[in-house]
């Protein structure tokens, strides 16, 4: 993917394009990405024929005031307001390089955030009583308040609201009916951007003591009472017929069988004769789940959805396709050409609290203990910590609660990206998904926990993506105010809040969400997209050398001010010039949410930046192929020969058999350009394989060292947690790496400028993103790619792809809600990897030493294989138990023991790694080896020709052969020879791992990987004789890699890779 001028506005906030960009480039960057064709369309408000972009400005920026007199009045008001603001505006606060926070205003409150105690009577306003007056204005004598400034002139929106009362469309608009969706949603944002009022001012209350339940409809109150009664009676349940229907529907969705195959089930299995057709099943499931969808009219080419400022358009302002067509079934009526199916989130979030298991999982946010100076989740970032002190503001009203002031408040993240349903570039669909950050990181990115609100239909990518998420923004505003919900665990009513704190995706998607210039906004002939840090050819009046540690960052207030200037421009031409200068189209609708801060809430996506761009750029430079095939002469020191790269690709493909499936997908032959390479494959190549495969392959070692520096920084970023000192290392490390990158590849030449891409520059902001939003894995796009991959693998109709995707997303949402409402999470789980924990054998003990281990078939009860292993076990038990090893050896002979072939780690969040015993598990040609481990031992084999016994444990590597259970009956036989009582150490079994150690290994300091050697010509595949350890001394799984010259290396996970369930292929394939 090619990234272009977006960094000029997003990363640094530069005030103008770089010097090398021509005037042609600046003219092309129109704020609406529309062709310069003299087309006309009727304005939705006045009916005059105007240019499409002028109609957009009328509706978006001027709130529909397009009559000549109204426009003139609005312009005079805007000019007056601008003069007043210039006169009375306070000096802007000094910008910080890391933060740019908005300041809250003391505003009236709408609702309280804390529910009353049980039995508290509902407060009803008596008839005829007047509402509480608004708070008084501060007087000059108020020392704690700022002095009031002269009243500004009426805004464009105020004039519009004054004049709209005479329009026929507003004849039946009831005054005082509550906030209208046509209120200016950006009035408060404009005020926040132009006034720097300190936070934490005294809260002005509209109705002190108002109950949060006040104003609920009778239907809402009745629903609360029903939920309470059901909770007291043991929760909701399904009758046998409905349960059978849900089971069948779950099987259909999980296996993705066709409708014809589903309808044949009753004939194939007569016991299912009561099962209805798929149509009836779907209808019944929709009734039971209560989850439906809202069809929103949209453009046939997916340009816009007719919501917000676009809801009055009769045709798309981009492609000019009419909104409606004649209904063939009723020629006298019209119907929308296309719909976008939106699935509301409020009912789904409320249903979370009907499932006791989900309630317990949702307590992660409040249970976790924050450690000072450690960043282990998004809740350690400064953005979340600042929100805890910030009052919630909705539509300009300051509410009575702060963000996340209640334990049940939910933190959400938004992500979107385009994908091709049929693996072609002809169509593009855009799922919109939410992540529930109240869940533990180990489960929050699983498919069953992803909340999809809809899929923007193809065939094209949306021009205005915010029109499709407008319903979501409205729901998030309602959730910020609070919605009634019921906690079935505590059997109490409460006010549910949810806040969107982060939005992420690739840069084109983020550019659309932020209403900024995207990656297609530049047509310079050179395929580069960002000025490097070193600019020796820049004019004398411009910066020639940027400091990578102290780049000028754009703040939230600055962003809103610049966007306001674009929207308040009196003419379209002036708006285009400002949009080109600032890189902003208009104020993004997401900025209406007080939990969103620009651009802090839109961190860089590490997955796309690193594994979709930086790593492919390096590979292209090294191989002199692809994007940089014509870069340089091809004889540079960093260019690898074709044969060498082919051997490297072959070694990558062969490594899949000797690498556990828990590490991720197989890395294919990277030299095969016809093979689709994913970000996960590149991540595994860069972090696990490349350090060993590229060792001593470059003509000049400095290129390898430069790459190893990058791998070290990537590993630091992918760590489960990172400290403040680690963030400083990342900041200085990437600054040094980018500087060295320019010296090695750019070399300050005009021809080398194209190597300085935007993703390379974005690495300079990763440290700031971690400081603000937590580790990079909290907001990278792997879960989004995983969701898109799951959608693409389903059966999608080629004739009706959009309807098919809508149906799939709705069915998944319905099943998820059924699991929460009726407590069917375990009953409807068909995954085999979860059943291993249920069918395996556990060995509970008083000290709980084996409680998180499950032993799985193959199982064998037999005597120990040979005398050598018996002798080693006897020696081990003699040391542990303090008994005579010879006596134990004699007792072991002929005594049967339980032998296991697999051991699986478990936790509260689900199954973990599975270790396979090489001796008992049958070897499969298609399987992946999960028998090699890192373990702790008292035998040192590091960089030695012979083993040495040491006093302190060290690490070793070896292959697990099998697991043996030394039961308590045998221990009692050992101890009872002196007829004494069985002491404490004998009251639990001993579970031992029999493994064959790797004889010799050493660490390559330059590359940071471990190389090992096998015994030549020996038995047991060159491994050493058996060693006995307790299963708790096993550290982790490891893989093996054989390079081009036949040398072996250890593949070890030291990062998040394979440890959190975020990658599409991390499953137990055994």
Q: Provide the pLDDT confidence category of residue 231 given band limits of 50, 70 and 90.
A: low
Q: How far apart are CA 355 and CA 368, in angstroms?
A: 21
Here the tokens at position 979 are: 């007829």
Whether omega for the bond prior to residue 968 falls within 30 degrees of 0, making it cis, is no
Q: Which of 397-411, 902-916, 944-958 has the lowest mean pLDDT?
A: 902-916
Q: Please enumerate in sequence order all residues whose Cβ is within 8 A of that of 603, keeping only pairs 6 or more positions apart, or say none.
A: 502, 504, 769, 772, 773, 776, 779
Q: Please enumerate in sequence order all residues whose Cβ is within 8 A of that of 178, keeping only pairs 6 or more positions apart, or say none.
A: none
| pLDDT of 753 | 82
Q: How far apart are CA 449 and CA 820, in angstroms?
A: 11
Same domain assignment for residues 971 and 891: yes
Q: What is the pLDDT of residues 837-855, one digit of tens each?
A: 667 888 988 888 898 899 9
Here the tokens at position 229 are: 């009664």
| pLDDT of 669 | 92
Report the Cα–Cα distance between both ends of the chain, in Å, rounded: 35
| pLDDT of 587 | 87
- pLDDT over threshold 90, residue 909: no
Pairing of strands 1000-1004, 1034-1037: unpaired
- Give, for 209, the enclosing helix (H) or strand (E): none
Q: Is 26 helix (H, G, I), strand (E, B) or coil?
A: helix
In a domain, 85, yes or no: yes
| pLDDT of 36 | 43
- CA nearest 912: which of 993, 836, 825, 994? 836
Q: What is the pLDDT of residues 135-193, one digit of tens each?
A: 333 333 333 333 333 344 444 444 444 443 333 333 333 333 333 344 455 555 545 54
Q: How far apart are CA 604 and CA 7, in angstroms?
A: 11
Q: Is 558 helix (H, G, I), strand (E, B) or coil?
A: helix
Q: Which residue has 């209406």 as its token pair?
A: 592
Backbone angles phi, psi at 613, to 5 degrees: -135, -60
Q: How far apart are CA 339 and CA 304, in angstroms?
A: 11
Q: How far apart are CA 765 and CA 769, in angstroms?
A: 6
Mean pLDDT of the region 933-955: 91
Same domain assignment for residues 813 and 764: no
Q: Provide the pLDDT confidence category of residue 395 given band limits of 50, 70 and 90.
A: confident
| pLDDT of 633 | 85
- CA nearest 290: which of 223, 357, 358, 218? 223
Q: What is the pLDDT of residues 855-866, one digit of tens each?
A: 988 999 999 887
- pLDDT over threshold 80, residue 700: yes
Instruction: Give the residue, 704 or 568, on which the prediction is more confident.
Output: 704
Mean pLDDT of the region 326-349: 90
| pLDDT of 255 | 87
Q: How far apart are CA 641 and CA 566, in angstroms?
A: 52
Q: Which of 98-112, 291-305, 520-534 has the lowest mean pLDDT?
A: 98-112
Q: Is 534 helix (H, G, I), strand (E, B) or coil?
A: strand
Instruction: Give the residue, 823 or 534, on which the prediction is more confident.
Output: 823
Same domain assignment for residues 683 and 725: yes
Q: Which residues in 342-369 are b (16+ Cβ under 10 Å) and which e?
A: bbbbeebbbbbbbbeebbebbebbeeee
The residue ranges of DSSP E strands in 702-792, in sequence order, are 722-723
Instruction: Give the residue, 62 or 464, on which the prediction is more confident.
Output: 464
pTM higher than 0.85, yes or no? no
Same domain assignment for residues 250 and 163: no
- What's the domain range around 947? 832-1037
DSSP letter (8 states) at residue 19: T
- pLDDT over threshold 80, residue 917: yes
| pLDDT of 523 | 32
Here the tokens at position 306 are: 């007719």
Q: What is the pLDDT of residues 340-376, one digit of tens each?
A: 999 999 999 999 998 989 999 999 999 999 999 999 9
| pLDDT of 71 | 52
| pLDDT of 63 | 47
Q: Which residue has 């309630």 as its token pair?
A: 359
Same domain assignment for residues 749 and 836: no
Q: Is 949 helix (H, G, I), strand (E, B) or coil?
A: strand
**Are the C-beta atoms of residues 445 and 912 closer than 8 Å to each other?**
no
In a domain, 56, yes or no: no
Which pairs from 801-808 meet CB under 8 Å and 24+ separation? 801/421, 801/422, 801/427, 801/429, 801/457, 801/458, 802/338, 802/429, 802/455, 802/457, 802/458, 805/421, 805/429, 805/455, 805/457, 806/293, 806/341, 806/454, 806/455
**Are the C-beta atoms of residues 730 and 722 closer than 8 Å to each other?**
yes
| pLDDT of 785 | 87
CA angle 808, 814, 819 (to 5 degrees): 130
Backbone angles phi, psi at 34, to 5 degrees: -120, 150
Q: Where are the alpha helices (DSSP H) in 301-448?
A: 346-352, 356-361, 364-367, 382-387
- pLDDT over threshold 60, residue 1066: no
Pairing of strands 338-342, 451-456: unpaired
Q: How far apart are CA 753 and CA 527, in angstroms?
A: 9
Q: How far apart are CA 983 and CA 329, in angstroms?
A: 86
Adjacent-strand bridge partners of 584: 516
- pLDDT over threshold 80, residue 422: no
**Are the C-beta atoms of residues 396 and 110 closer than 8 Å to each other?**
no
Mean pLDDT of the region 180-209: 43
In a domain, 126, yes or no: no
Q: What is the pLDDT of residues 894-904, one digit of tens each?
A: 889 999 999 99
Pairing of strands 410-416, 498-504: parallel
Same domain assignment for residues 668 and 800: no
Here the tokens at position 433 are: 């998904």
- pLDDT over threshold 60, residue 197: no
In a domain, 954, yes or no: yes
Same domain assignment for residues 758 and 879: no
Q: How far apart are CA 938 and CA 1030, in angstroms?
A: 12
- CA nearest 512: which of 566, 457, 432, 624? 432
Same domain assignment for residues 816 and 837: no
Mean pLDDT of the region 305-333: 89
- pLDDT over threshold 70, residue 942: yes
**Are the C-beta atoms of residues 341 and 457 closer than 8 Å to each other?**
no
Same domain assignment for residues 756 and 871: no
In a domain, 1033, yes or no: yes
- CA nearest 850: which of 994, 1053, 989, 672? 989
Q: How far apart are CA 492 and CA 495, in angstroms?
A: 10
Instruction: Give the residue, 100 or 764, on which the prediction is more confident.
Output: 764
Here the tokens at position 649 are: 């690709």
Q: Provide the pLDDT confidence category of residue 23 given band limits of 50, 70 and 90.
A: very low
| pLDDT of 297 | 93
Here the tokens at position 366 are: 């409040």
The number of angstroms, rounded, from the C-alpha of 1056 to the middle of its chain's C-alpha atoms is 14
Q: How far is CA 736 from CA 547, 712, 726, in A?
A: 11, 13, 15
- pLDDT over threshold 50, residue 244: yes
Same domain assignment for residues 888 and 909: yes
Instruction: Provide the number of structural domains found in the chain.
Output: 4
- Give, for 910, the enclosing helix (H) or strand (E): strand 910-916
In a domain, 214, yes or no: no
Mean pLDDT of the region 46-63: 64
| pLDDT of 983 | 56
In a domain, 380, yes or no: no
In a domain, 114, yes or no: no
Mean pLDDT of the region 318-334: 89
Q: How far is CA 1037 from CA 384, 642, 915, 960, in A?
A: 35, 34, 7, 10
- pLDDT over threshold 50, residue 997: yes
Q: How many helices (H) and strands (E) does the chain have?
A: 34, 28
| pLDDT of 704 | 95
Q: Provide the pLDDT confidence category of residue 884 given band limits of 50, 70 and 90.
A: confident
Q: Provide the pLDDT confidence category of residue 214 given band limits of 50, 70 and 90.
A: low
| pLDDT of 60 | 61
Same domain assignment for residues 984 and 842: yes
| pLDDT of 1060 | 53
Q: Which of 64-73, 205-214, 611-620, 869-878 has the lowest mean pLDDT?
A: 205-214
Same domain assignment for residues 294 and 431: yes
Instruction: Give the residue, 238 or 16, on which the prediction is more confident.
Output: 238
């Amino acid at each position: 993917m090619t990234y272009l001028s977006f960094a000029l506005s997003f990363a640094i906030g530069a005030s103008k394009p770089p010097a090398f960009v021509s005037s042609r480039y600046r003219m092309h960057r129109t704020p609406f990405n529309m062709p310069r064709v003299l087309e006309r369309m009727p304005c939705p408000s006045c009916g005059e024929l105007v240019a499409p972009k002028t109609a957009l400005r009328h509706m978006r920026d001027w709130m529909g005031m397009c009559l000549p007199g109204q426009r003139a009045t609005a312009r005079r008001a805007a000019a007056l307001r601008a003069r007043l603001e210039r006169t009375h505006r306070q000096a802007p606060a000094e910008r910080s390089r890391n933060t740019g926070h908005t300041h809250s205003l003391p505003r009236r409150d709408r609702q309280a955030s804390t529910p009353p105690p049980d039995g508290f009577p509902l407060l009803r306003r008596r008839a005829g009583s007047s509402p509480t007056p608004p708070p008084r204005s501060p007087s000059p004598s108020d020392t704690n308040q700022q002095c009031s400034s002269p009243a500004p002139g009426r805004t464009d929106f105020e004039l519009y609201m004054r004049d709209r009362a005479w329009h026929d469309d507003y004849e039946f608009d009831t005054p005082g009916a509550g906030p209208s969706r046509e209120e200016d949603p950006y009035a408060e944002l404009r005020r926040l951007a132009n006034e720097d009022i300190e936070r934490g001012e005294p809260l002005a209350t509209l109705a002190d003591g108002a109950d949060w339940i006040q104003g609920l409809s009778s239907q809402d109150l009745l629903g609360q009472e029903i939920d309470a009664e059901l909770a007291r009676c043991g929760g909701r349940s399904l009758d046998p017929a409905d349960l059978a229907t849900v089971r069948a529907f779950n099987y259909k969705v999980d296996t993705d069988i066709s409708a014809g195959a589903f309808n044949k089930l009753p004939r194939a299995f007569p016991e299912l004769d009561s099962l209805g057709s798929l149509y009836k099943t779907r209808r019944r499931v929709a009734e039971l789940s209560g989850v439906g969808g809202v069809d929103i009219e949209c453009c046939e080419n997916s340009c816009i959805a007719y919501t917000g400022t676009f809801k009055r358009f009769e045709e798309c302002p981009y492609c000019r396709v009419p909104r409606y067509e004649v209904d063939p079934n009723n020629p006298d009526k019209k119907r929308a050409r296309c719909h976008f199916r939106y699935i509301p989130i409020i009912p789904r979030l409320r249903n979370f609290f009907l499932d006791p298991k989900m309630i317990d999982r949702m307590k992660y946010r409040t249970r976790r203990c924050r450690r000072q100076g450690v960043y282990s989740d998004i809740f350690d970032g400064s953005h979340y910590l600042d929100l805890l002190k910030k009052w919630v503001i909705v539509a300009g009203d300051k509410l009575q609660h702060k963000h996340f002031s209640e334990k049940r408040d939910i933190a959400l993240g938004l992500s979107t990206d385009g994908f091709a349903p049929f693996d072609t570039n002809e169509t593009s669909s855009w799922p919109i998904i939410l992540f529930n950050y109240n869940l533990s990181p180990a489960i929050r990115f699983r498919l069953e926990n992803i909340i999809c609100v809809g899929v923007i239909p193809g065939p094209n990518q949306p021009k205005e993506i915010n029109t499709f998420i407008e319903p979501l923004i409205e729901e998030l505003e309602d959730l910020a105010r609070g919605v009634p919900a019921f906690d079935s665990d505590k059997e109490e009513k409460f006010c549910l809040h949810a806040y969107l704190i982060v939005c992420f995706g690739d840069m084109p998607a983020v550019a659309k969400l932020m209403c900024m210039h995207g990656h297609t906004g530049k047509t310079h002939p050179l395929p580069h997209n960002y000025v490097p840090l070193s600019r020796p050819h820049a004019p004398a009046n411009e910066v020639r050398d940027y400091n990578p540690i102290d780049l000028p960052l754009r703040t939230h207030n600055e962003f809103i001010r610049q966007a306001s200037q674009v929207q308040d421009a009196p003419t379209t031409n002036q708006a285009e010039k400002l949009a080109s200068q600032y890189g902003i189209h208009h104020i993004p609708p997401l900025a209406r949410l007080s939990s969103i801060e620009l651009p802090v809430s839109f961190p860089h996506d590490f997955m796309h930046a690193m594994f979709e761009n930086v790593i492919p750029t390096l590979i292209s430079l090294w191989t002199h192929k692809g994007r940089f095939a014509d870069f340089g002469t091809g004889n540079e020191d960093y260019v690898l020969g074709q044969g060498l790269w082919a051997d490297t690709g072959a070694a990558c493909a062969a490594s899949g058999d000797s690498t556990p499936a828990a590490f991720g997908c197989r890395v294919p032959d990277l030299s095969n350009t016809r093979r689709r390479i994913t970000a996960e494959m590149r991540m595994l190549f860069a972090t696990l394989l490349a350090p060993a495969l590229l060792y001593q392959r470059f003509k000049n070692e400095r290129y390898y060292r430069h790459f190893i520096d990058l791998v070290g920084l990537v590993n630091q970023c992918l760590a489960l947690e990172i400290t403040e000192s680690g963030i400083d290392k990342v900041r200085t490390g990437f600054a040094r790496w980018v500087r060295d990158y320019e010296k090695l590849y750019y070399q300050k030449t005009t021809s080398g400028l194209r190597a300085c891409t935007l993703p390379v520059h974005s690495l300079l902001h990763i440290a700031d993103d971690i400081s603000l939003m937590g580790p990079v894995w909290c907001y990278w796009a792997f879960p989004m790619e995983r969701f898109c991959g799951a959608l693409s693998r389903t059966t999608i109709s080629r004739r009706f792809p959009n309807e098919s995707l809508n149906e799939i997303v709705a069915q998944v949402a319905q099943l998820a809600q059924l699991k929460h409402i009726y407590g069917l999470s375990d009953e409807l789980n068909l995954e085999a990897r979860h059943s291993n924990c249920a069918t395996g054998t556990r060995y509970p003990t008083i000290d709980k030493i084996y409680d998180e281990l499950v032993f799985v078939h193959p199982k064998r009860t037999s005597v120990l294989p040979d005398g050598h292993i018996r002798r080693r076990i006897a020696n081990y038990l003699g040391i542990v138990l303090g008994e005579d090893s010879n006596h134990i050896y004699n007792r072991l002979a002929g005594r049967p023991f339980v032998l296991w072939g697999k051991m699986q780690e478990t936790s509260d969040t689900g199954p973990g790694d599975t270790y396979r015993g090489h001796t008992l598990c049958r070897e499969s040609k298609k399987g992946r080896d999960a028998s090699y481990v890192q373990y702790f031992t008292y035998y040192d084999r590091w960089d030695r020709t012979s083993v040495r016994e040491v006093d302190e444990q060290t690490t070793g590597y070896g292959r697990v052969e099998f697991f043996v259970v030394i039961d308590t009956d045998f221990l009692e036989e050992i101890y009872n020879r002196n007829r004494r009582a069985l002491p404490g150490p004998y009251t639990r079994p001993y579970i031992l791992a029999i493994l064959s150690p790797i004889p010799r290994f050493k660490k390559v300091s330059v590359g940071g990987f471990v190389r090992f050697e096998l015994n030549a010509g020996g038995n047991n595949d060159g491994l050493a004789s058996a060693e006995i350890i307790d299963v708790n001394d096993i550290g982790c799984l490891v893989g093996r890699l054989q390079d081009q010259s036949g040398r072996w290396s250890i593949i070890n996970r030291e990062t998040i890779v394979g440890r959190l369930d975020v990658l599409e292929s991390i499953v137990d394939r055994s």
